[in-house]
Amino acid sequence: MIAYLEHFVHGNDAESRQDDTDGDVVSSLDGLEITSATASAGKDFGGTKFSKPLAVIRPSSAVDVARVVRAAAATANLTVAARGNGHSINGQAMAHRGLVLDMRAMENECFRLGGENGLRYVDVSGGALWEDVLKRCVSQFGLAPRSWTDYLGLTVGGTLSNGGVSGQAFRYGPQTGNVTEMEVVTGRGETVVCSEKQNSELFFAALGGLGQFGIITRARVLLQQAPDMVRWIRVVYSEFEAYTRDAEWLVSLREGEGFDYVEGFVFVNNDDPCNGWPTVPIRPNQRFNPVRLPSNAGPVLYCLELALHCSHSDHPSTVDMEVDRLLGRLGFVEGVKFEVDVSYMEFLLRVKRVEEEAKVKGIWDAPHPWLNMFISKSNIADFDRQVFKKIINNGVGGPILVYPLLRSKWDSRHSVMVPESSNIFYIVALLRFVPALPKGPHNAEILVAQNNAIIQLCYNRGFDFKLYLPHYNSQENWMRHFGDKWTRFIDSKANFDPLALLAPGQNIFSRIP
Ligand code: FAD
């Protein structure tokens, strides 16, 4: 495959002609697995950005990763993007005419159980899929990570570079808060083990650091006892105020006193199969009965999604009693409740079923102009009035998540940005699948424009909010995003990736020749 790379580096095509030092790149990559799979590395789940790399390299160890970084550093213009599972929306894992490291090639490189200070952990490769981490931890040790994403076909390094949020984050914080040590290959090509106590600047910078400071080759992930079963519940609200009051109460409860998972979503108050009532029942044999809804219900409704961990040895009536005690305190629409008991694995892998169905319908590989935001509690009611009830009151052709998180569970030393004005903020995720509505010819550009209009509305109304999985086109916007942490961000960039080689698809810094 070296010949393939040589073809590009020394080719006659003017666009592919590089600096003289590129000859050294070819020899310094000798022995590495270089593939011509540049087309797939040139696109991502978002499906609206395309940027072909020069080559895709399949590293087998941190040593390989460091070699690639050093080889790129020796040139005038090559960049390096670690690609996890390519589930970004806006080309974040791409490297235009640069080198892409297919981190999944290292997915089995490391898997070790350990313990310290009474906590158990597993050391896993940065290229491992969370789905595989789950399966291996449960089957081999009866243990599991504490904090998840909804969908587990994402890599450890990919989510740790952003945050990693699901219905457990209210209790344990995001995935970035559940890692105690990492091995990172910096933009200087140095392999560094970092933690809160050792090389802490790199540790904190890399968590939520959008891949800007180094490539995570190994992470130490905290574990807990894996429950056998989960009671999975959905209840429906017609009033946003009651919905947020109950959701905020639930996330304030201590471990052992409340549910183990708290999420929720907005859906349309009609029978639309993609956006409306049919999206609420958990099982195909369950039916949503709209007769129970109050006659004054608005255009959208809200569904609180909850889960309680339980064990095979629990008597069903004990679980029922606990669930009834908690649900009895909530003000959902009477009778609009769905519940099932499922295995812990089935619960955590629930989105896999959605993936399979979407693949059959051909919408998994279609464009996904998604918008993810964190919005302060102080602005969420206004957001509901302006956005959920007006701009997207017909739905977005996919889930619209909205649920509360606690800022106190997010370490402010990490690079990920969250609203600061209140301890509670909401994640809002518009998970659009195109075509969006059965009725409309909605193409991706129109939906991106709608996302931008929503972001602009938040600015105009002075909301305290941050984009999650951020994407901006100018450094001014990045400066605004990081606010008073921008100086720290650029200082860390200068320390760990002075040539700005890494993660060029984030579009924050330009490669320094
Ligand atoms: P990629 O898209 O491959 O990479 C993302 C960024 O991280 C790129 O800049 C890349 O260069 C960098 N990167 C990748 N690997 C490494 C590494 N080892 N070291 C350093 N940098 C690296 N997020 C949530 O928080 N909660 C959810 O519930 C959730 N659900 C999702 C469901 C779906 C279907 C999709 C498509 C996305 C979802 N996400 C969710 C978003 C997801 O967490 C991010 O997009 C994540 O970055 C994807 O992981 P990946 O492995 O595909 O990363």
pLDDT score, position 27: 73
Q: Catalytic site residue 150?
A: yes
Cβ(507) – ligand 1 distance below 6 Å: no
* Ligand 1 close to Cβ of residue 162 (< 6 A): yes
Give catalytic status of residue 263 as yes or no: yes
Give the Å distances, CA to CA, from 201 to 192, 193, 342, 495, 497.
11, 11, 42, 10, 13
List of domains in the chain? 2-104+497-506 (3.30.43.10), 111-225 (3.30.465.10), 228-348 (3.40.462.10), 368-471 (3.40.462.10)
Rounded distance from Cα 332 to ligand 1 centre (Å): 34
Q: What are the residues whose beta carbons fall under 8 Å from the beta carbon of 66, sequence distance 6 or more?
A: 185, 189, 190, 191
Q: How far is the CA of 283 from the centre of ligand 1 (A)?
A: 29
Q: How many CA atoms lie within 13 A of 370 on its CB side?
A: 26
- The answer to whether the beta carbons of residues 401 and 263 sit under 8 Å apart is yes
Q: Which of 161, 175, 507 is the best mutation target for the ligand 1 pocket, counting ligand atoms within 8 Å of the beta carbon and taking the most?
A: 161
Residue of the CA atom closest to atom 42 of ligand 1: 159
Q: Is 92 in the pocket of ligand 1 (CB under 6 A)?
A: yes
Could you tell me the distance, in angstroms and rounded to a whole number, from the CA of residue 159 to the centre of ligand 1?
5
- In the DSSP assignment, the letter for residue 79 is -
pLDDT value for 362: 84
Nearest residue (CA) to ligand 1, atom 36 = 87
Q: How far is CA 297 from each of CA 237, 277, 302, 380, rounded to the nearest angstrom?
A: 9, 13, 11, 19
Peptide bond into 435 cis (omega under 30): yes
**Nearest alpha carbon, ligand 1 atom 21:** 211
C-beta of 90 in contact with ligand 1 (< 6 A)? no
Known catalytic residue at 312:
no
Q: Is 215 in the pocket of ligand 1 (CB under 6 A)?
A: yes
Q: Which of 150, 246, 339, 497 is catalytic?
A: 150
Q: What is the largest CA-CA distance in the chain?
A: 75
Which residue's C-alpha comes closest to atom 45 of ligand 1? 88
Helix (H, G, I), strand (E, B) or coil at 454: helix
Cα separation, 337 vs 353, whole angstroms: 21
Q: Which of 8, 38, 37, 39 is nearest to 23 (CA)?
A: 8
Contact 375, 468 (CB under 8 A): no
Is residue 216 within 6 Å of ligand 1 at its C-beta? Answer: yes
Atom 23 in ligand 1: residue holding the nearest Cα = 164
The whole-number mean pLDDT for each consecutive block of 10 residues of the chain, a chain of 513 residues, reads 50 42 68 87 94 95 97 96 98 97 96 94 98 98 98 98 98 98 98 98 98 98 97 98 98 96 98 96 95 96 98 87 97 96 97 92 90 98 98 96 98 98 97 66 82 98 98 96 98 98 98 97
Dist. CA 241–CA 480, nearest whole Å: 31
pLDDT value of residue 36: 77
What type of residue is 3?
Answer: A
Asked whether 78 lines ligand 1 (CB < 6 A), one says: no
* Ligand 1 pocket check for 158: Cβ under 6 Å: yes
Half-sphere exposure of 376 (CA within 13 A, CB side): 15
Query: Quick one: how many helices (H) and strands (E) in the chain?
Result: 16, 18
Residue from 45, 64, 87 whose mutation best tests the ligand 1 pocket (most atoms within 8 A of CB): 87
Cβ atoms of 383 and 375 within 8 Å: the answer is yes
H or E stretch covering 166: none
Q: What is the dihedral of CA 509, 477, 44, 274, to 10 degrees?
A: 170
Strands (E), 287-399: 300-310, 337-343, 371-376
Q: Which of 13, 20, 11, 110 is nearest to 74 (CA)?
A: 20
Nearest atom of ligand 1 to the alpha carbon of 45: 36
